[in-house]
Amino acid sequence: VLPGKDTDSDGLTDIEELLYGTQPNKPDTDQDGFLDGNEVFHLFHPDGFAPETLLDTGAVAQMHPEGMAFMINVITKWQHTVSTEDMTLTTTAATGESFTVEQYAVPASQSLQQFYTEKVVLGDRQNLEPFRTKQGYTGIWTQDHQTAYVRFSDDVVLEFKYVLGGATRTQYRQTFEMFINSLTNGLLES
């Protein structure tokens, strides 16, 4: 899947620039020395100055899905659906692309790699790449960066999916990474 158009090569697609109110022809809209995409990834306001965060843009809000242990940043203009039965949050753009996060109860002894191996059939498995969120949660990305698994606690794994919904380009890659990076413990925040 091809990435969306990024006219100024700042890490945000031109469509994402509209979400955050940044300029698609200016890689550092607020001229603070940091590319707009880098600021979104790190949860900072790409057209504001420290200590402003994405929450100050109005484009992003923090959400604590009912019945789930986590809180996460979502795009305010998107549609959000919570299923307490499936323990799933789906947030959908007007383009039809969506992000899902599903909460799974797991044994404390099960690693992320073991969870992945048990969940994904052999023919669909990809190489995995480890990462760590801004809050220090450990995770693994699939090679195509369409799916990530995060160890949220000893007994909870979160599965994040970027669902293209018929799109032929990935328009919200940086927003998906922001979505994962914003993950915090909703039980501690309540």
Of residues 15, 44, 55, the one with CA closest to residue 28: 44
Residue 88 sits in a domain of what CATH number?
3.40.1000
Does the pLDDT value for residue 45 go beyond 70? Answer: yes
CB 183 within 8 A of CB 133: yes
Can you tell me the distance from the alpha carbon of 96 to that of 165, in angstroms, rounded to the nearest whole number?
5
Question: What whole-number percentage of the chain has pLDDT above 90?
Answer: 94
**Three-class DSSP category at 173:** helix
Query: Model confidence over 108-144: pLDDT tens digits?
Result: 999 999 999 999 999 999 999 999 999 999 999 999 9
Does the pLDDT value for residue 36 go beyond 60? Answer: yes
Number of domains in the chain: 1
Q: Count CA atoms closer than 13 A to 152's CA, side-chain side.
A: 28
Residues 6+ apart with CB under 8 A from 188: none
Where residue 187 falls among pLDDT bands split at 50, 70, 90? confident
Domain boundaries, position 148:
2-189
Where residue 53 falls among pLDDT bands split at 50, 70, 90? very high
pLDDT in the model for residue 189 = 53
Query: Model confidence over 63-114: pLDDT tens digits?
Result: 999 999 999 999 999 999 999 999 999 999 999 999 999 999 999 999 999 9
Where residue 190 falls among pLDDT bands split at 50, 70, 90? very low
pLDDT in the model for residue 49 = 87
